[in-house]
Structure 1
Amino acid sequence: MQLRAVTEADHAALLAIWQQTPGLCVREDDAYAPFCAYLARNPGFSLLIEHAGSVIAGVMAGHDGRRGYLQHLFVMPAWQLQGLARQLLAEALKRLAAAGIQKSHVLVLADSASARSFWQAQAGWQLRDDVQLCSISHGAST
């Protein structure tokens, strides 16, 4: 198994996996151009694990200079329950900390019980009920 940074060339494989992963919501920001812009702005933070040339796990991660953000954490079903998600999470947080980022957030879909359960089981992560997310799409593709 090899852990490495996500590259632009990984987009098609990751998008196909994301589209088939329960509890993971693919949006227009996951298209190729925004994906590449995200990687360029956050080099080396998004990670994947490969086995025999195939992607088996991954996480998108980055920061805004103040807070870290994690998205699209997944492990292929045949590889689940082997600690790969925790390995990706630890490495992403290590890289964010090395960049001076001391607090990170993850957005979890309200109807994804398995995702909520995973995050609540991770040491230090807390499901918050004191904030709600408000969003607006203000790009050309609205």
Structure 2
Amino acid sequence: MIVDRLPEHLCEDAVALWEDAGLTRPWNDPRADLARALAGPSSTVLAAVEEDGLVGTAMVGHDGHRGWVYYVAVRPSHRGRGLGRALMAACEQWVAGRGIPKMQLMVRTGNAGTRDFYERLGYAVQDTVVLGKFFDPRRQARQSG
């Protein structure tokens, strides 16, 4: 398995993987998220690629103070083989290599399995609440509804 920056020809495969994994939401355009991450110097999308193609992804970036990771997904047929751990290790190396001292991530309420995965990797619940606001009222209404 090779973990490296997502090649352009696998972008649609990445979006399909995210959709299959239930990571997309109607109020977020995964293609726009992907394009922004690949375009910026403070973010990228890492891909786990094997002979049979794309098997995992992780979007990673930083805000100058903290690293963030999103869209961590592994193809169901390849789960349980350490790919998620390998992707997270690559994300941590990417962030640490830019001098950022901490990685953060968000897990949806009720997603205990995913939360357990991250806790096994040493991540802990922080004493914070995440607040958000869309600038487009139509997107805000879709999220609230």
TM-score range, shorter chain: 0.7 to 0.9
Per the TM alignment, residue 59 of structure 1 is displaced from its structure 2 partner at its CA by 0.5
Residue deviations 1:22-49 (CA, integer Å, cap 9, x gap): 4x24354444334212221146742111
Contact 1:3/1:47 (8 A) holds in 2: yes
Distance 1:43 1:140 in 2: 28
Deviates most, 56-65 or 3-12: 3-12
Q: Structure 1: which 4+ aligned runs deviate by more than 6 Å?
A: none
Tell me the number of residue pairs that the alignment of Structure 1 and Structure 2 aligns.
139
1:133 lines up with 2:133 in the alignment: no
Structure 1 residue runs without a partner (length 5+)? none
Per the TM alignment, residue 97 of structure 1 is displaced from its structure 2 partner at its CA by 0.7
Residue deviations 1:5-30 (CA, integer Å, cap 9, x gap): 024443311111111114x2435444
Distance 1:64 1:27 in 2: 25
Structure 2 residue runs without a partner (length 5+)? 140-145
Percent of aligned pairs with the same residue? 24
In structure 2, relative to structure 1, the CA distance for the partners of 1:37 and 1:140 (3 Å cut) is farther
1:68 paired residue number: 67
Please provide the CA RMSD for this pair: 2.1
Provide TM-score, normalisation by structure 2.
0.83
